Amino acid sequence: MFQRQSELGSAGCSVVVVTFGEERGAVRWQQETKCPFQYYRDQTRSLYTFLGLRRSVKAVWNTATLSYYGSEVAKGTPLPQSYTDLEDDPHQMGGDFIFDSNATLKFVYRSKTASDRPSVDHILQAIHNIL
């Protein structure tokens, strides 16, 4: 998504990353990934609850996730390291959502596994369908 932020901007989309973690963890992650998007901290997980995002051990640690990480290692891609000095919840599921300019929820994609995300093409198509 980072590489295609100009396309998202041209489509009238502002990307916001939502995290429930500690501030210093969010800052560290943003610096390490060089994520250009602003982020919002939802420590009470009220937005996560509103969007129907659940916690799931089964969805995080399954064969699809292990296969994904295995293929990344085989390609030589370094895996993200956990922050041992921060409290985190690796079982919290995520997703991708689109709100219109009136804050009306228009697109919902709840991840089925830890690595499950829609493609940027899928998101751009959804934006164009909304407009």
Per-residue pLDDT for 92 more than 80? yes
Render pLDDT for 66-78 as a digit per residue (tens, 0 to 9). 898 899 999 999 8
Residue 67's contacts (CB-CB under 8 Å, 6 or more residues apart) are none
Per-residue pLDDT band at 4 (split at 50, 70, 90): confident
- With a cut of 80, say whether residue 82 has pLDDT above it: no
| CATH value at residue 28 | 3.40.30
Global pTM reads: 0.80
User: In total, how many domains does the chain have?
Assistant: 1
Whether residue 51 is predicted with pLDDT greater than 90 in this model: the reply is: yes
Alpha-carbon distance of 116 to 65, in angstroms, equals 9
Coil, helix or strand at residue 39: strand
Domain holding 56, by residue range, is: 2-130
Q: CB–CB of 127/12 below 8 Å?
A: yes
